[in-house]
Amino acid sequence: METSFVECPRCLGKGHVDHEDIKRHKQELRWLPGTCAYCNGTGKVSKDLIDSVDVDKTYLTNDLSEEEKEKVLNNDLDATMRGIEKEIQSQQIIDHIKDLHFNHELNVDQISTFFTYENDENKEKLFDFIQRVIDSESNSNL
């Protein structure tokens, strides 16, 4: 049986996810622009994949190992549970950042101390993420 391929619904055939795609899939604080993890940068996916794996699956990102990505694409139960756990943890972090900023009036630097050590190499990425959370909440309240 021949597998038919169609334009990737996540990246719209571009092979990479941009800010518009992220916004369209409502993943603003969960995905970053880059190679599309759904089509693996090819711009095409099988119809079978679309039928079996949700295009908006938050956990299916490029920071997964190839082995884990394969498990996600095959709807492995353990990978699905890890994805659910990661989504819950991500939402808890987002909610915690919002609480610290809007209810306790902490700034980005103060909030970052809750999540990093002094010399953490990812501190700049964390600052950016915290700022995006604050900005998204501020913009939604306009």
Q: For residue range 114-130, what is the model confidence (pLDDT) as tens digits?
A: 887 666 677 888 899 99
Quick one: pLDDT band at residue 1, thresholds 50, 70, 90?
Answer: low
The predicted pLDDT at position 119 comes to: 67
Spatial distance between the Cα atoms of 141 and 124, rounded to a whole number of angstroms: 26
Kindly report the average pLDDT of the chain as a whole number: 91
Residue 74 scores a pLDDT above 70: yes
Q: For residue range 9-50, what is the model confidence (pLDDT) as tens digits?
A: 999 999 999 999 999 999 999 999 999 999 999 999 999 999
Query: Cα angle vertex 7, ends 52, 79, to 5°?
Result: 30
Q: What does residue 81 show for φ and ψ, rounded to 5 degrees?
A: -65, -40
**Contacts of residue 111, Cβ cutoff 8 Å, sequence gap at least 6:** 97, 100, 101, 130
Q: Taking residues 62-88, report their average pLDDT.
A: 94
Quick one: pLDDT band at residue 141, thresholds 50, 70, 90?
Answer: low
- pLDDT above 70 coverage of the chain, percent: 94
Q: What does residue 85 show for φ and ψ, rounded to 5 degrees?
A: -60, -40
The predicted pLDDT at position 131 comes to: 95
CB distance 39 to 53 below 8 Å? no
Q: Taking residues 80-103, report their average pLDDT.
A: 95
